[in-house]
């Protein structure tokens, strides 16, 4: 994935300004930054649901939003889009039937559904109504839906919000397994800096501008800090100081 002079305007505001970055395939790239910095907007631009995008944005070798990308990208938004009155398995059966329709595909669909449920560790809840699950469990059903088509690119908008530490760790282990075993490219947003350390690469956003595009290691080294969080704060302070002197 590659962005050049990527700018997004929402209403009266320029929400993303002149972004230049590349996301390498088969790795986990974290999109980090404070609330309101533009993470969700960038993800929407990548999956092709954001209006008023200018510059170039190439995703899996195609322009973002290209119809051929639809089946190649799995996208999980912050609001789980699942049916409360269906069980976990019924939800997945429903989306599997859309992705891979026809009677002849039934056995394959069943296998994919069972695999996706196991991937997100919900086998014990497969027959529970989605409406009766906890917030974290519902998020994982959404993730399972996104995994169904074995997407080449997974775009995950704050998938660990509201999860306890054990589940957060398990989900990050799952992301690493998916990237390593399937070669899936994963773009995952978070505003929790300790999650940054788990990514192969990081894009640090602040007020719609890119502060850094690097590995966690290089960020710590370059800023001479012990954690990515401290490196980020250092970069923010430097950017603020530059802004002050420019005034
Ligand atoms: N419809 C809109 N019109 C104008 N501005 C908007 C609109 N929607 C969002 N914004 C602004 O765009 C900016 C980026 O929003 P975005 O949702 O991308 O941030 P975010 O980094 O994902 O935040 P969070 O972590 O809180 O989800 C925010 O400052 C927000 O106020």
- pLDDT tens by residue, 3-52: 999 999 999 999 999 999 999 999 999 999 988 999 999 999 999 999 99
Q: Identify the residue whose tokens are 């305007």.
A: 9
Closest approach atom of ligand 1 to CA 43: 18
Contact 64, 45 (CB under 8 A): yes
Exposed, middle or buried, 93 (CB in 10 Å: 0-12/13-18/19+)? middle
pLDDT at 80 over 80: no
pLDDT (tens digit per residue) in 89-146: 999 999 999 988 999 999 999 999 999 999 898 999 999 999 999 888 898 999 999 9
pLDDT of amino acid 191: 81
Please give the Cα distance from 132 to 60 (Å, whole number). 37
pLDDT of amino acid 246: 82
Please tell me the pTM assigned to this model. 0.93
Tell how far the Cα of 226 is from the centroid of ligand 1, in angstroms.
Answer: 30
Would you say the ipTM is above 0.85? yes
Q: Supply the residue whose CA is at minimum distance from atom 5 of ligand 1.
A: 10
Mapped onto helix, strand or coil, the DSSP state of residue 101 is: coil
């Amino acid at each position: 994935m590659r962005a050049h002079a990527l700018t997004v305007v929402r209403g009266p505001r320029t929400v993303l300004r002149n972004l230049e970055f590349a996301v390498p395939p088969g790795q986990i790239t974290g999109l980090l930054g404070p609330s309101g910095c533009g993470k969700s907007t960038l993800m929407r631009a990548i999956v092709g649901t954001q209006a008023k995008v200018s510059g170039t944005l190439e995703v899996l070798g195609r322009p973002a939003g290209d119809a051929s990308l639809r089946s190649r990208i799995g996208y999980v938004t912050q609001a789980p889009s699942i049916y409360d009155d269906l069980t976990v398995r019924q939800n997945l059966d429903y989306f599997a039937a859309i992705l891979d329709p026809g009677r002849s595909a039934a056995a394959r669909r069943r296998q994919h559904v069972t695999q996706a449920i196991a991937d997100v560790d919900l086998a014990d809840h497969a027959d529970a109504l989605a409406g009766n699950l906890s917030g974290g469990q519902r998020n994982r059903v959404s993730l399972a839906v996104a995994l169904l088509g074995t997407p080449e690119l997974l775009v995950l908008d704050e998938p660990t919000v509201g999860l306890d530490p054990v589940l957060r760790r398990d989900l990050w282990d799952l992301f690493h397994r998916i990237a390593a075993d399937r070669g899936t490219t994963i773009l995952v947003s978070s505003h929790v800096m300790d999650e940054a350390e788990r990514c192969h690469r990081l894009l640090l956003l602040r007020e719609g501008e890119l502060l850094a595009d690097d590995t966690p290691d290089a960020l710590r080294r370059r800023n001479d800090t012990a954690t990515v969080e401290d490196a980020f704060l250092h970069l923010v302070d430097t950017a603020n100081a530059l802004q002050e002197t420019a005034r």
